[in-house]
A and B are shown apart, each in its own frame.
Chain A
Amino acid sequence: MIKNRRIQWIFFTVVLILSVIYLLPIYVMLVTSLKTPYEITQRLYLIPSLKPQFSNYVQAFKRIYPSLINSIIIASTVTGLATFFGGLGGYYLSRSRTRFSKVLFILVGITLYLPYQAVLIPLVQIAAKTGMALTHWGMIFSYSILNIPLASVLMGTFFFSIPRELEEAAEADGASKPQIFFRIVSPLSLPGYASTAILIFTQVWNEFLLALCLSTPETTTVQVKLAEIKGSFVALYNIQMAAALIGVIVPLLLFLLLGRYFIRGILAGALKG
């Protein structure tokens, strides 16, 4: 393993500390998800239930299942749209040498800092007036608008690290920029797409306030549903935690799948230059 003793020590200490602070919350979640309502009131977070209620998971699943589907639909569509258009936009920002593109880059960068709460009301209005508000499209539209700039900047940074020789050669051969992009640059940029996709997917999946305003009972997302499960009257933390654990599976799966591909892609792409 590590040759240096001291570093080995430091490494294991760090791993231990990290393990504690990251495993503890999971433990609390698990323990809570199996409790009875009475035990929740006791607030003894570390003590497992004396009567573990596995039925909590059944209940939680029944309640969260429709919203899981909704969230998957919305997050996937937005991720697809955002990475695709983000790739396009990012390519422009990283390759075009005009003053216009430089100005645009600044303008796009600025929009990233806009707090989304500020555009909540106008977004809902736009969604309403175009009839999208009561369907999945309201959220898809809103999240796309909010995430395409981010995707553009992320992909742009990635493209920057791809050397231009290939593209210049292709252009000399008479290829147009779109052809170069789709045939040459994009396949090389899969790691970039992968990391952008992960980021955007999780952002959309975890977003709460906008989803709250734009969702209907048929189109509710996971986060809104989780808040709803907790309820306003009696906090059903046990069901909520069970539902949360179920809800986490989708993004985690995405991480595991794309994450591996992403790292492999990085190593492959990094061999160039």
Chain B
Amino acid sequence: MAKRRSAFIYFIKNWAIFLLPLLITTGFLYFMLFWTMYVSFSDWRGTAPNYKFVGLKWYRLMFSMDRFWTDFKNNIKWLLIGVLPTLFAALLIAYLLELSGSKKWEAYVRTLILYPSAMSFVVTGTIWSWMYQPDRGVINTIFDIMGLHMLRGRFITNPETATYWLILIFIWQFLGLAVIIFQSSFRSSELQSIIESALVDGASRMRILFQIIVPNIRGGILILASLLLISALKVFDIVYIVTFGGPGYSTDVLAFFMFIATFQQHLVSLGAGLSMIIFLMAFVIVVPYTIYAFRRWFA
């Protein structure tokens, strides 16, 4: 009895202050999550709340819509093409900066690729839509100036490729952050000493990168990949600003459809259902990832 009590007191004295904020915040979020889940099973389709239970009505509707499946495919594209190339490019650039050895160039490149993170998609999206405009846009104009007329593209006005050009904006925006995270991961002194000895042994740069560095910065890769995956899955601002889902709805994503359904069509239950789908997709990705991270942390 006394033992349990003192364990409790121990807990309060030591852990309560750490646990409480986390519990409260997480509690709130889950409360809101369940609220959304409930709404997705209700019939809220006007401006006034409607909590009548209708089961899977809206989900069935959703799955029958062509638009939903386009969105789903688009979101998958965002996940794969948004995350992997960013990781890869950032890794190479960070490594090159390490190899360069010049503080000056490092600072220059870092500032260069970092500034977009200081800007919101409202701004960068607007500028990139000007870059992509087929008739007078920046990219095509430059091709014209250089005489490379055949390289002119339709970019985001071509429904087949539009999404890829949007993803490029995403990569462009996040590259700076990714490089910084990688660079700071490189700086651990144990890693530095391993690299030193490998260099002495005459290993090539590429080998050092992939066989020594990468395995040792798994923590950094983990954080970065998580951030990128989260942002890619939730993507909304870029689509809203640059294409508004168009042409047609070829660049539509689930989060954007959710926005239109909830706030323009006033079909709040449909929007809630879409949110749940986004969340479920995240869950499918999170679970294996969390298990991996888990082992890493608590192994």
Contact = CB atoms under 8 A, between A and B. Distances in A.
Direct contact of A and B (CB under 8 A): yes
Q: What 10 pairs between A and B have smallest CB-CB spacing? A: A113-B282, A118-B275, A89-B22, A206-B120, A251-B118, A177-B14, A92-B18, A85-B21, A119-B32, A148-B25
Contacts of B226: 112, 153
Contact of A85 (B25, B102, B271): B25
B65 interface: no
A23 B101 contact: no
Contacts of A270: 187-189
A45 B136 contact: yes
Interface string A244-256: 1001100110110
Contact of A28 (B13, B131, B184): B131
A208 interface: yes
A76 interface: no
Interface string A27-54: 0110000000000000111100000000
A7 interface: yes
What's the dominant secondary structure at chain B's contact region?
Answer: helix
A122 B233 CA distance: 21
Contacts of A148: 21-22, 25
Interface string B255-299: 100110010000010011001101100110110001001100110
Interface stretch (B105-113, B154-162, B242-250): B105-113
B22 A85 contact: yes
Nearest to B19: A92
A256 B100 CA distance: 21
A266 B275 contact: no
Interface string B177-200: 100110010011110000000000
Contacts of A119: 29, 32-33, 35-36
Interface string B74-105: 00000000000000000011001001111001
A149 B298 CA distance: 19
B136 A227 contact: no
Contacts of A227: 122
B223 interface: yes
B17 interface: yes
A116 B99 contact: no
A110 to B, nearest CB: 6
5 contacts: A15-B108, A92-B19, A149-B25, A157-B219, A209-B237
A29 B298 CA distance: 48
B42 interface: no
A130 interface: no
Contacts of A219: none
Given A28-B127, A115-B275, A122-B32, A45 B137 contact: yes
Nearest to B92: A14
A67 interface: no
A222 B123 CA distance: 11
Contact of B116 (A22, A102, A121): A22
